[in-house]
Structure 1
Amino acid sequence: MRRFSPAFLIPALIAAPALGHAGLVDLILGKRDLEVITVTDLSSTGNFVPAATPDQPQYYVAASLGYRDLGGYMAGIEAPPSEVVLHLISAELAKQGYVPSTAHSPAPTLMLVYTWGTLNAENLYGGDPSAPPTQLNRGQIVRFLGGQKVGMDDNFFNPLTAPVRGLTVYNFEAERILDVARESFYVIVVSAYDLESALQKKRLPPLWTTRIAAPSLGFAMGDVFPAMLAIGGAQFGRETPRPVWINANDKFTPSVTLGELRLVEYLQDNPLPVADVSDAVIEKK
């Protein structure tokens, strides 16, 4: 992954984020490869639930939490319509064997919850314009990217217990995650809950949660979501011992653009039975 952070470019990229995702970044950095990082965590209960397959599907009802800015806020990001994102997520789930419940299907056993949006680096700039900013949420991004699976637990960013950099030897994967965590990301999160327990309002952790992330600089959200799902969807419901890090080259990208039949053929054209609970969550907060 290329690194480029001259101080004179920071004001331009902040003042024009929409341009930064397209022409300006390509002009300065050249075209970047799309990198997708996927992490799936299983709970103790989820370890006893096998992942779905096309031959042995699992049926679900779903709720959408909608678009979220999970990290710092950045103006100018154009999110694709919710119905487009929901169809992409549902189509990839169906490809992996997770099928929305209907009146004619077997009874559902899962409740799936979706959310997507950004996980932007939150930087604090001091009075010296030549000094690098202080990133306030690097630990949050490291955890999202699966840092705990490569040796960085919650104590890693605790000032009382964190190891001193330079005296500690990190493994390659930890170094890589720590390095890329300086960037901002587009993210998709799918969590699966036991439906019966959810209906009984039992407070149990999800059976599994899959987090898909891709660095956002140089890309438009609507352009990369299909590729993120096509790459990361294979990990739905499947524990990842390490973060799965895949570089999508130019030959791969065109096969997962919006409207590609292979992404939608697993679902019929009927409206998706996904409850939108995003407004309820916002009001509760």
Structure 2
Amino acid sequence: MPSDYLMSINQAINYIYQNLDKSLTVEEIAEQCCFSKYYFNRVFKLTVGQNIYSFIKRIKLESAAFKLRAAKSRPITTIAIESGYSPSNFASAFKQYFDVSASDYRKMNDVPFKDSFAAVAEHIRNMKKDEHAFEEISAKMRIKRIEGMNLMYKRVICNYTRDLKEAWDLFCKEMEKQCLLDKDYLFVGISYDDPLIANEDHCMYDMCIAVDKPTSVNVHRIPSGLYACYDFYDKLNKFILAFNEIVSLWLPYCQYKLDNRPMLEIYHSEIDDRGNIRAEICIPIQES
């Protein structure tokens, strides 16, 4: 795939995520990339592995499922509108996609259903039995404003658990070749999919480095905003446990509302002699 085509597809994906509350058409998205609708749909499917209609439907409904899990106080009608559906159309689309109603999905305590994440589900179930779990997680959270930044990124579609370490190693080598690893460099990750909900082998992820002056089209301009940041220091394979502690045991019951900006993983160290890495899991929030 030529690099300019790949950049155009990335721009299209960014546009979709920024407009999930809208009823998007192929023509509208293709116009963002200066492609004809027929050619765009073919290139998109070749790059992403899904046609544009299936991709939009998937991320709208999986994003809604995540909010049902993480933002329990947000009305289902609000989540439907944020996903670009009328409440009635959302109800039927959600039930068709997940084989369960949105209200029943919200009540379920044992999501996910996947055997590969049984250990995660068991970890959360055990923590729910601890009446001090919320306070223990809160002790690791810091509410702070993160200043705006430019993030040059490389996008991969992969299995987070199996593939990300190698992808990050390659990305770091590329950044070193481009002489971007000065003493103040900052690596940031952006996860787009929850593997407990999405197909775990086709999750999208952006590996990013903060830059003062963008030298690439593949740049996110992250605005300043309020975040709840979880201090993580552990093995990489424990990252998904920490993330689910926040989503399942802290976020639904805290005083803040989940915002629609992307979640950020800010890395403060490489893997050390103990095999641990220091990072922050930053959840975009707004005052409730």
Shared fold, TM over 0.5: no
Of Structure 1 and Structure 2, the greater helix share is in 2
TM-score class normalised by the smaller sequence: under 0.3
